[in-house]
């Protein structure tokens, strides 16, 4: 059997002057939101993407990642921690404490708090991220945080110290 690939008589061939890629890129630019939604939906359905994620988040790759975290000083419980913030608190006895990293301050100065307030507990699903009642309470003294407190068990945010330091 012989196949005939010639166009039928009476038809004409269409010539495209611009490449298909140009039209595709133009469509993506004109429909950016729709393109993003379709792309994300495709990624979520993809079994290949799921396999790569599972491979990267388990086994040897995860062990290597955790080992690199242990060596990085920005992820150690020190003043250099990536999430550490500067704090200026006034203790109930009137002394001013200036430090970075609230968790580290509480660990190093447990004698300043009630024994019941410094019982460290692990979070569910994140056992390395610990908390205690003193941490939860003092974190709410920071201005600008949600549900800010004026004082807690005599502890206050020392705003006048910051104002003097900025003025001088």
Please check whether residues 117 and 44 belong to one and the same domain.
no
Please check whether residues 59 and 102 belong to one and the same domain.
no
What total number of domains does the chain contain? Answer: 2
In a domain, 95, yes or no: yes
pLDDT per residue as tens digits for the range 93-137: 989 999 999 989 998 999 998 888 888 888 777 766 788 888 888
Residue 27 domain boundaries? 20-71
In a domain, 7, yes or no: no
The neighbour count for residue 99, using CB atoms within 10 Å, is: 17
Contact 80, 74 (CB under 8 A): yes
Please check whether residues 111 and 135 belong to one and the same domain.
yes
pLDDT of the residue at 168: 47
Q: Tell me, yes or no, if the pTM score tops 0.85.
A: no
The Cα-based distances of 124 to 30, 70, 129, 137, 161 in angstroms read: 45, 21, 9, 19, 38
Selected residue with higher pLDDT from 7 and 53: 53
pLDDT of the residue at 161: 53
Distance CA 8, CA 145 (A): 75
In a domain, 112, yes or no: yes
- Give me the residue label for tokens 């890629």: 21
In a domain, 2, yes or no: no
Please check whether residues 50 and 113 belong to one and the same domain.
no
Please check whether residues 91 and 149 belong to one and the same domain.
yes
Please check whether residues 90 and 30 belong to one and the same domain.
no
Q: What mean pLDDT is reported for the chain?
A: 82
**Sheet harboring 151-152: ordered strands across?**
96-100, 86-90, 155-157, 151-152
Please check whether residues 64 and 103 belong to one and the same domain.
no
Selected residue with higher pLDDT from 62 and 106: 106
In a domain, 47, yes or no: yes
Please check whether residues 58 and 114 belong to one and the same domain.
no
Please check whether residues 63 and 93 belong to one and the same domain.
no
In a domain, 91, yes or no: yes
Please check whether residues 55 and 111 belong to one and the same domain.
no
Q: For the chain, what is the radius of gyration of the CA atoms?
A: 30
Distance CA 133, CA 142 (A): 15
In a domain, 81, yes or no: no
Selected residue with higher pLDDT from 13 and 47: 47
């Amino acid at each position: 059997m012989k196949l005939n690939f010639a166009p039928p008589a009476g038809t004409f061939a269409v010539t495209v002057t611009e490449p298909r890629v140009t039209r595709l890129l133009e469509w993506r630019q004109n429909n950016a939101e729709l393109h993003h939604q379709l792309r994300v939906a495709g990624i979520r359905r993809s079994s290949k993407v799921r396999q790569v994620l599972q491979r990267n988040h388990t086994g040897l790759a995860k062990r290597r990642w955790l080992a690199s975290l242990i060596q990085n000083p920005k992820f150690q419980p020190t003043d250099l921690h990536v999430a550490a913030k500067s704090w200026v608190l006034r203790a109930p006895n009137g002394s001013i404490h200036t430090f970075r990293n609230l968790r580290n301050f509480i660990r190093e100065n447990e004698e300043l708090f009630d024994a019941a307030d410094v019982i460290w507990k692990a979070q569910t699903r994140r056992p390395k991220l610990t908390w205690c009642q003193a941490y939860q309470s003092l974190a709410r003294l920071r201005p600008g945080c949600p549900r800010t407190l004026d004082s807690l068990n005599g502890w206050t945010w020392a705003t006048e110290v910051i104002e003097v330091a900025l003025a001088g």
